Structure 1
């Protein structure tokens, strides 16, 4: 009598044997070594976007406040330098620079966000051109200084070091470029341009102190705004 019962091959796994047909674990490669997990890509930092937008609005608000006219050259004393220094000190070089750049672009495309409601590229041919250009450079440079000071020094030294850095940036960047703008656009000799610029210096240095005190308060309250914890 012939036995018609099918003979199961030794290589064929049993239906109930789940281990025989199981493929390699997703965490292992063909050689059995664990494969490296793909690192998640960083998207747009929502906090950075929000901070850039907020400080751009602060720069606009500082320009909207009526300035105090000084001399006959049409360069008023405004709160813009205070806002620019505060932006760099709080946000650092990249985000601070982006906030100032966005502010400048808004004005260049026609929005009345510069002092006395001015706008457009024609401001680059006026007496304030050097100061406007200096805003971007100043925010980046003082932002770099803030980044170094906050990451490498004790908190007790922050105010003194940031004040010194702000004074240097104000004089070497804002006022030097401002004087150059007066010389180029108004055809003033160096001595006359410096004389026209000097009345703004004491007020700008005082605004630096205010910006530093405010920025240090922000960093002490929110330590991850500029100095973020490392992963």
Structure 2
């Protein structure tokens, strides 16, 4: 495949990845201070399906669209105030998750080259690590913003608001993301 054709192919996949994340954020239910969305499913499915580099670029495009004001975040919100708000750490954490997935899966372990069972196991473990990082960044940011807006909040309270209600649904989303990535693997690898 020529360089121009490969670049076009990558750009199209990255745009599709960003669109998938947007759709995942539109499905939103406010259960607590942090809304329940399918963003985690979308982000991890995009990373695992497109690969770390293309997936991370998709995440950055999604966040840039929302930051400039397009209503692509949960609850059809957009603008810098969302990134700077209490749940902005979870959004910003997607970038860190993308880079971790990129470096770990594409550079260190070359997950896509593993036999099927090992690849699925590696994707599952790596997605759980990424989820833990996302929780850590989101909770720290939530505590920082919450403390400035309304007063102190302890780690236990922040975790009970931002993590505990989401652990089981997020694990289910990670399993679904692995299944989606495996189902779409041949399509993405085909390079039309």
TM-score (norm: length of structure 1) = 0.72
Partners of 1:218 and 1:144 lie apart in 2 by: 21
Matched, 1:210 2:173: no
Aligned residues: 180
Q: Deviations over 1:4-32 (max 9, x none)?
A: xxxxxxxxxxxxxxxxxxxxxxxxxxxxx
Partners of 1:149 and 1:142 lie apart in 2 by: 10
Structural mapping, 1:192-203, within 5 Å: 192-197=157-162, 198-203=164-169
Secondary structure of the 1:70 match is coil
Q: For residue 21 of structure 1, what is the aligned residue in structure 2? A: none
Partners of 2:127 and 2:155 lie apart in 1 by: 24
Partners of 1:212 and 1:192 lie apart in 2 by: 31
Question: C-alpha displacement at 1:224, in angstroms?
Answer: 5.2
Decide which structure has greater helix share.
Answer: 2
Match of 2:64 among 102, 105, 116: 105
Structural mapping, 1:175-194, within 5 Å: 175-187=135-147, 188-194=153-159
Q: Deviations over 1:39-89 (max 9, x none)?
A: xx8336111011011111111111122x12222x2x111000100001111
Structure 2, unaligned runs of 5 or more: 148-152
Structural mapping, 1:139-154, within 5 Å: 139-147=98-106, 148-151=110-113, 153-154=114-115
Structure 1, unaligned runs of 5 or more: 1-40, 226-231
Partners of 1:224 and 1:181 lie apart in 2 by: 40
TM-score (norm: length of structure 2) = 0.86
Question: C-alpha displacement at 1:206, in angstroms?
Answer: 0.9
Asked which structure has the greater RCO (Cα within 8 Å, sep 6+), the reply is: 2
Partners of 1:215 and 1:222 lie apart in 2 by: 9
Structural mapping, 1:97-136, within 5 Å: 97-136=56-95
Matched, 1:46 2:5: no
Q: Give the number of the structure whose alpha-carbon radius of gyration is greater.
A: 1
Partners of 1:131 and 1:182 lie apart in 2 by: 9
Q: 1:82 to 1:119 in 2, by over 3 A?
A: same
